[in-house]
A and B are shown apart, each in its own frame.
Chain A
């Protein structure tokens, strides 16, 4: 790491850019790509990086923290509360059984002492949040029952890291004192005070999240500086993680809770799209670190021992998971997925193993061996998933496809996205709501967003011409997008982006006038609504009525007029293309107007039908 920062960054970024797309292309998922990149730049192949793989992993673990924040954002508190049974049930069963079986194996076969076998088995019972959640997201399995169950287990494991870290020193006969300094700030305090502090820290997250963070974000959003918002989002995650470390809780758990608190806020989508790239890169860095830290010398020296260990650990974990899945009624094909997903040893094992060595629960040799087992099992998981996907899964026939899709639509993706909630858009939104249609609403005026949320609308804040924001608003699954932004230029930009990146969405657009309408027509929009047409015509009806026309006759004429005008718009749009200049100057505008007026006479707008008119009959 002594080399320049630029060189290190170059190596990491280049390896990721080369290997991840290749892995993706081969259908292996990004995790495996990063791992291979790590192995290649690691000390045993190209040795661009030395033994600092481990250090990098510590930095990059922050990616896991960020990922849990983002997961929290997607989960609203009610949903989280519903999961409590599966978190505790699946979690206790998985961790308990795995630790007992692995502990017994260690005790009887490897000749470990009681404390050592317990410490090692607890470390090995952990699964990798990073690998599993990244895989679930990439394969779109987050909502499947295997995905949900895996998430519950991982969450429970994250929670359990803290008590395990607390118990390990009690198991150790010596070395207790060295550890004190390494631990959290509140260790020296009496037990009851510690508990109080922990509870108040968690309570603090809820309070601060609701009453301080949201108003703060509102204030920042008013500055309209996008990077300030990104900075605030990062600050939020870093701050929560730091607070959690201070009171000795898991940062991942803390940020997860913070995410849940903010899940219902209007900034959900903005936070998501701002933090997503950071999370992705940090996680990537983490996987590269894992790849780089695999000790191939050790593997070469102890091939049989390591292979046996990796195999038996993964088999034991897999079998326990299968049993757990059966008890909780996961369907067969889903259960297999569930087993493979969680069968590896996770990143927390690195932490727990290192800690055990510091406590002299484990000697250096076995620590190295177990670290290698962990890294190898993490590398094998994506391969196993690939095998499962290609060779085993197809034979199980019916998948969970149908119910999952249905749930998706109801849960998180409204099929209508309404962009722009000014006077125009809000009228549409109110009418839709009155008819039971819940649209996802995007607006970039934070004052308005706040007001509307108070009135019970689901409105999200953000600049809708950003592709990532549209994506997190569910553009990939949306059927309709209503472009109702006040500024015609922004509205046109939005339409252009949607047409380009989400061609499956049907766009319905607001146009201020005829000229906006032409532009939208050029972009292939067929449903165009001119503000200056319908209102003007309705006013004209009333003018006719004031002049003595009967209301129904005036209304019929008006409807004919609108029909005619829309037909004329299309016709003139073609004519406009024949004109030399794309941008219309004043002279051309007048020319258009003139053409319009002469068409009025030609197309027989003034001719009348004779319905209910007996004059015609009398004359003949």
Chain B
């Protein structure tokens, strides 16, 4: 069974309809650890040793966050800066995270069409996330396609409930899916695993 670590970063979680529903749908399972970064480190003083231990205990790392300004929230960047240490995650002897799966779970106000070379935002979500992808590569991890909830401002409560149910299905599926299968996933969004 794969162990999953959800690194959740949302600076105003209490006002987010989508993330509230997604987080609520996370199954209570010994294989899944939900880690609320803004709740744990409101002062941005990420405790490095604790975070390293957590990473070592899990096989799949999920970065769940809103997509403000085409990027990850600042605390998540702080987390990356502090935890992925030279000589531990990368560089000489930096092998601690080798072969782990990592991907983003992103909510975005824009539609899928807006995030394309013809759309308003000119780039795809995956393209915007290139720094994360490269960070993962540098740390010898397998970065796979993001799981995306688009057009969040327009979602009806029913649609949000549907999104939450699919996210739950994904999290039910992941522990039993072989790492190799995940590593070779070549779709655009990881959503395809649960919509097909």
CA A153 – CA B86 in complex, angstroms?
A: 79
Q: How many residues of B contact A (CB 8 A)?
A: 11
Contact between B86 and A559, CB atoms less than 8 A apart:
no
For chain A, residues 548 to 601, give those with C-beta under 8 angstroms from any C-beta of chain B: 556, 559-560, 563
Nearest-Cβ distance from residue A309 to partner chain B, whole angstroms: 64
In this assembly, does B48 line the interface, its C-beta being within 8 Å of a C-beta of chain A?
Answer: yes
The one of A559, A560, A609, A617 in contact with B91, judged by C-beta atoms closer than 8 angstroms, is A617
The one of B43, B48, B92 in contact with A609, judged by C-beta atoms closer than 8 angstroms, is B48
Known: A616-B87, A620-B92. A611 touches B82 (CB 8 A): yes
Closest to A620 in B: B92
CA A560 – CA B45 in complex, angstroms?
A: 8
Nearest-Cβ distance from residue B47 to partner chain A, whole angstroms: 7
CB neighbours (8 Å) of A610 from chain B are 85-86
For chain B, residues 41 to 97, give those with C-beta under 8 angstroms from any C-beta of chain A: 43, 45, 47-48, 81-82, 85-87, 91-92
CB neighbours (8 Å) of A559 from chain B are 43, 45
In this assembly, does A365 line the interface, its C-beta being within 8 Å of a C-beta of chain B?
Answer: no
Closest to B83 in A: A611
CB neighbours (8 Å) of A563 from chain B are 45, 47
CB neighbours (8 Å) of A620 from chain B are 86-87, 91-92
Contact between B82 and A609, CB atoms less than 8 A apart:
yes
In this assembly, does A612 line the interface, its C-beta being within 8 Å of a C-beta of chain B?
Answer: yes
A interface majority secondary structure = helix
Nearest-Cβ distance from residue A494 to partner chain B, whole angstroms: 29
How many A-B pairs with Cβ below 8 Å? 24
CA A463 – CA B86 in complex, angstroms?
A: 58
Nearest-Cβ distance from residue A375 to partner chain B, whole angstroms: 60
Known: A611-B81, A612-B81. A617 touches B45 (CB 8 A): no
Contact between B85 and A609, CB atoms less than 8 A apart:
yes
CA A218 – CA B30 in complex, angstroms?
A: 60
Known: A609-B82, A610-B86, A616-B87. A556 touches B45 (CB 8 A): yes
Closest to B92 in A: A620
Nearest-Cβ distance from residue B142 to partner chain A, whole angstroms: 24
Contact between B86 and A617, CB atoms less than 8 A apart:
yes
Nearest-Cβ distance from residue B183 to partner chain A, whole angstroms: 29
Nearest-Cβ distance from residue B145 to partner chain A, whole angstroms: 29
CA A611 – CA B91 in complex, angstroms?
A: 14
CA A610 – CA B88 in complex, angstroms?
A: 11
CB neighbours (8 Å) of A611 from chain B are 48, 81-82, 85
CB neighbours (8 Å) of B47 from chain A are 563
CA A36 – CA B136 in complex, angstroms?
A: 82
CA A559 – CA B45 in complex, angstroms?
A: 7
CA A362 – CA B95 in complex, angstroms?
A: 104
Nearest-Cβ distance from residue B135 to partner chain A, whole angstroms: 14
CA A616 – CA B43 in complex, angstroms?
A: 26
Nearest-Cβ distance from residue A608 to partner chain B, whole angstroms: 11
Nearest-Cβ distance from residue B46 to partner chain A, whole angstroms: 9
Contact between A616 and B86, CB atoms less than 8 A apart:
yes
CA A560 – CA B48 in complex, angstroms?
A: 11
For chain A, residues 521 to 572, give those with C-beta under 8 angstroms from any C-beta of chain B: 556, 559-560, 563
Nearest-Cβ distance from residue B101 to partner chain A, whole angstroms: 25
CA A610 – CA B48 in complex, angstroms?
A: 10
For chain A, residues 324 to 358, give those with C-beta under 8 angstroms from any C-beta of chain B: none
Closest to B49 in A: A609
CA A563 – CA B43 in complex, angstroms?
A: 12
Closest to B41 in A: A559
Nearest-Cβ distance from residue A577 to partner chain B, whole angstroms: 27
CA A499 – CA B14 in complex, angstroms?
A: 32
Nearest-Cβ distance from residue B153 to partner chain A, whole angstroms: 27
CB neighbours (8 Å) of B48 from chain A are 609, 611
CB neighbours (8 Å) of A616 from chain B are 86-87
CB neighbours (8 Å) of B86 from chain A are 610, 616-617, 620
CB neighbours (8 Å) of A609 from chain B are 48, 82, 85
CB neighbours (8 Å) of B85 from chain A are 609-611
Closest to B88 in A: A610
Closest to B82 in A: A611
CA A611 – CA B19 in complex, angstroms?
A: 30
CA A345 – CA B64 in complex, angstroms?
A: 69
Nearest-Cβ distance from residue B84 to partner chain A, whole angstroms: 10
For chain A, residues 186 to 235, give those with C-beta under 8 angstroms from any C-beta of chain B: none
For chain B, residues 80 to 135, give those with C-beta under 8 angstroms from any C-beta of chain A: 81-82, 85-87, 91-92
CA A358 – CA B91 in complex, angstroms?
A: 107
CA A617 – CA B92 in complex, angstroms?
A: 9
CB neighbours (8 Å) of B91 from chain A are 617, 620
CA A611 – CA B85 in complex, angstroms?
A: 7
CA A187 – CA B91 in complex, angstroms?
A: 103
User: Which of B45, B81, B82 is most buried by chain A, counting CB atoms within 10 A of its CB?
Assistant: B45
CB neighbours (8 Å) of A617 from chain B are 86, 91
CA A538 – CA B92 in complex, angstroms?
A: 38
Closest to B45 in A: A559
Nearest-Cβ distance from residue B185 to partner chain A, whole angstroms: 32
Q: Mark B23-47, 1 if CB is under 8 A from A, else 0.
A: 0000000000000000000010101
CB neighbours (8 Å) of B43 from chain A are 559
CB neighbours (8 Å) of B45 from chain A are 556, 559-560, 563
CA A247 – CA B64 in complex, angstroms?
A: 75
Nearest-Cβ distance from residue B150 to partner chain A, whole angstroms: 34
Nearest-Cβ distance from residue B2 to partner chain A, whole angstroms: 29
CA A609 – CA B78 in complex, angstroms?
A: 14
Nearest-Cβ distance from residue B40 to partner chain A, whole angstroms: 12
Nearest-Cβ distance from residue B170 to partner chain A, whole angstroms: 32
CA A201 – CA B45 in complex, angstroms?
A: 66
Nearest-Cβ distance from residue B184 to partner chain A, whole angstroms: 33
CA A560 – CA B41 in complex, angstroms?
A: 12
Nearest-Cβ distance from residue B180 to partner chain A, whole angstroms: 33
Q: Assuming A563-B47, A612-B81, A616-B87, what are 13 further A-B pairs, CB within 8 angstroms?
A: A559-B43, A563-B45, A609-B48, A609-B82, A610-B85, A611-B48, A611-B81, A611-B82, A611-B85, A617-B86, A617-B91, A620-B87, A620-B92
Identify 20 residue pairs between A and B in the complex whose beta-carbon atoms are under 8 Å apart, listed by A's number.
Answer: A556-B45, A559-B43, A560-B45, A609-B48, A609-B82, A609-B85, A610-B85, A610-B86, A611-B48, A611-B81, A611-B82, A611-B85, A612-B81, A616-B86, A616-B87, A617-B86, A620-B86, A620-B87, A620-B91, A620-B92
| A interface residues, Cβ below 8 angstroms from B | 556, 559-560, 563, 609-612, 616-617, 620
| B interface residues, Cβ below 8 angstroms from A | 43, 45, 47-48, 81-82, 85-87, 91-92
- In order of increasing CB-CB distance, the 9 nearest A-B pairs are A559-B45, A611-B82, A609-B48, A611-B81, A617-B86, A559-B43, A620-B92, A616-B86, A556-B45
